[in-house]
Amino acid sequence: MKRTIIISVILIACTTCFAAEPTAYVDNFVYTLDYAHHTAEVAANPKASGDIIIPEQIKDGEGKTYTVTSLSAEAFKGCKGVTSIVLPPTIKQLYRSSLEGTGVFANRELWNEGALYIDGCLIAVDKTISKPKFVVADDTRVIAGGAFQGNKTVTAVVLPQSVSRIDVFTFRDCKNLQKVTFGRHITSIGRDAFTGSGIYLNEKKWKKGILYVDSCLIAVNKDLPAKVQYKTPYRLIAEGAFAQNTVIQSVELSPMLETLPAACFYECANLQNVKLPASLREIGAFAFYRCPLLKDINIPAGLSKVGDGVFYECSALSTLTLPEGVEEIGKACFFGCKSFTAFHLPQALKQIGDGAFAGCIRLESIKLPDNLESIGKQCFAGCTGLEQIIIPEKIIVVPEEAFAGCNHIYKAVLPENLYAIHNSAFRGCGRLERIDIPDRTFTIGKDAFSGCSSLEQVNIGEDLHTIEDGAFANCTRIEQLDIPGEVTSIGIGAFEGCYGLRNLTLPKSLRYIDREAFQSCRGLREIKLPKGLERIGARAFAQCKQLRKVDLPAKLKEVGDEAFRDCEMLPSLQLALPDDCIVGKNAFKGCKE
């Protein structure tokens, strides 16, 4: 009957599969930041000591405010020098291990009748507490994950109405625990909260392969039938309850259910059909993660949020309609849904998370709604069937790799208020023919359009200041390029390999051309360098084999190594350089003598 599900490490890895979680160092402590929800978690601080006060809010380096809502499992673990700690009322989640091994945990004077309470949080219960019935204090608002774990004495626990969550591992391996009393104030139950407890091990409490506790579905086992129909009333499902079950093929859920919890059907390899209740309002992270046969699921009209990785690699899912009330799609939500050909997004949608549709290789069309305010990194990366994209006006940033590898996109329309195009945003969009950079765009990031081999026309707005490394590298069909007057630097290899480039206009504001910026631009014949230019980087114009004329500015201070190497048609410019100009090795080697 007992099952072992190792999903915690995988879940953590998947939430960061596109980028490491951002951190902030504030008042000697490290925090993990959640940009989307403006919250912060106390990360591992192994060197912490003394008296610690956790603030309600912190600010990052940019002055943005985050509410501190949790302590990680490793927050102060093993910090023997931590003598006291103050937890703010904003804390909603922490773990026994967060403080295990600290001076606070070791100080028996802080324990009351076998329990350690700190600022309304039950941190731990002694593993050999004398009273078999444990009544959690009325003013308790949070019970730490694993608080009772391994207790050998407790047989019954009563939870107060002030507690809303039973967290991960809370009663794990409490082998004598037979009863936990709680009401509707409990709104979520963490994974493996009861695994290995007396309740879990009592076969009489299981009904057809399902364990229920106080109208909550806690876990399933190998005796679960392939078709699960709603019969026993339940209002909650514990996180990971059906995870990695290979028997279940279809399921009908309770009409009382409002939240489908995290990892609920995680890696259910044979799950094909799910009937969700009309009462459902939220689908938690990784709920259907890697259910490869799932193809039939109804989404209730009242749904408002779809969490991270919910349908990650549900490769058989070919169609799905989100209701109009959904405002947020989580990270990697539809990652690898290879059967999607089209997708309708609700008009209320404001945010699409990182990698939400990445790898949807058959997705041909998607209309981004007008109210959309942000799209995440790698949002549509690898959507090789996508043909065009129109980015709504409220979006001011195209993030990193947002459309990278979308090699069938031939049309991309950018909003007028766009501020930045970040690194590799359109990298490898091999069919993209034209791009109009709006006037308000300040920067074009690294490799933003690299490898867009069909790109012929590039119109750059007047406010652009920076063209970063490799921005248009290997865009072989660009013939004419007018760089506007605010650009001061052109990055490494920014236009390297643009073989078709024939006409180039550089701005008066330009001060620095970095190395390899125009290397192998074989179509260039003439360059007029601006008067204010001070530095030409190494190999900046190397192998521009048709280059015949270059006007050098009087203020030029440096010409890098091999800057004009193998420009076979260009007469050596050595004698035309200013007297104080530093000339690198082989700067004009291979030029026409």
pLDDT score of 48: 96
Query: Tens of pLDDT along 520-540?
Result: 999 999 999 999 999 999 999
CA 557 → CA 193, 357, 488, 578, distances in Å? Answer: 68, 48, 16, 8
CB 287 within 8 A of CB 265: yes
- DSSP for 132-200, written as a single string: SEEE--TT--EE-BTTTTT-SS--EEE--TT--EE-TTTTTT-TT--EEE--TT--EE-TTSSTTSHHH
Residue 218 pLDDT grade (very low, low, confident, very high; cuts 50, 70, 90): very high
Query: Tens of pLDDT along 374-409?
Result: 999 999 999 999 999 999 999 999 999 999 999 999
Residue 128 pLDDT grade (very low, low, confident, very high; cuts 50, 70, 90): confident
Mean per-residue pLDDT of the chain: 92
CA 291 → CA 250, 307, 316, distances in Å? Answer: 12, 16, 9
- DSSP for 447-484, written as a single string: TTTTT-TT--EEE--TT--EE-TTTTTT-TT--EEE--
Structure-model confidence comparison of residues 576 and 111, the more confident one: 111
CB 288 within 8 A of CB 263: no
CB 587 within 8 A of CB 563: yes
Q: Give the torsion sign (CA, 325, 391, 490, 496).
A: positive
The residues spanned by each domain of the chain are 1-106
One-letter amino acid at 355 equals G
97 phi/psi in degrees, rounded to 5 = -70, -15
96 phi/psi in degrees, rounded to 5 = -55, -40
Q: Give the pTM.
A: 0.88
Facing residues of 435 across strands?
Answer: 458
Q: Is the pLDDT of residue 11 over 70?
A: no
Query: Tens of pLDDT along 453-506?
Result: 999 999 999 999 999 999 999 999 999 999 988 899 999 999 999 999 999 999
Q: E strand or H helix at 582, and its extent? A: strand 582-583
Q: How many CA atoms lie within 13 A of 278 on its CB side?
A: 0
Q: E strand or H helix at 15, and its extent? A: helix 8-15
Give the closest residue to 30 by CA, choosing from 43, 47, 49.
Answer: 43
Residue 165 pLDDT grade (very low, low, confident, very high; cuts 50, 70, 90): very high
Alpha-carbon distance of 209 to 415, in angstroms, equals 54
Q: Supply angle C-alpha 263, 268, 273, rounded to 5.
A: 100
CB 500 within 8 A of CB 479: yes
In eight-state DSSP terms, residue 110 is G
pLDDT score of 99: 97
Q: Is the pLDDT of residue 252 over 70?
A: yes
Q: Is the pLDDT of residue 186 over 70?
A: yes
CATH T-level assignment (fold) for domain 1-106: 3.80.10
Query: Tens of pLDDT along 284-326?
Result: 999 999 999 999 899 999 998 899 999 999 999 998 989 999 9
